[in-house]
Amino acid sequence: MTWRKSRRSGGGDCVEIAFDGASVLVRDSKDHRGAVLTIPVAQWRILRCSIARGHGDLPE
């Protein structure tokens, strides 16, 4: 399985994702042996769209 970081992370610590076919796996880039969040692909797409639209942004 190939884990990837966001290109926008700038090489710093962030989350990494991997695909296993039916799900997207998410983990902390600093703790490769730690917990892994498993998100079904359909829910991942909804999450990505929500983030792209700015939903969940913290107020300034």
Q: Which two tokens stand for residue 6?
A: 């966001």
Given the DSSP bridges, would you call strands 15-19 and 23-28 parallel, antiparallel or unpaired?
antiparallel
Q: Any idea what DSSP says for residue 24?
A: E
Q: What is the pLDDT of residues 3-47, one digit of tens each?
A: 998 777 766 678 899 999 999 999 998 888 999 999 999 999 999
Q: Which two tokens stand for residue 42?
A: 């359909």
| Whether the predicted pLDDT of 53 surpasses 70 | yes
pTM metric for this prediction: 0.76
Among candidate residues 14, 19, 57, the one with its CA nearest the CA of residue 40:
19
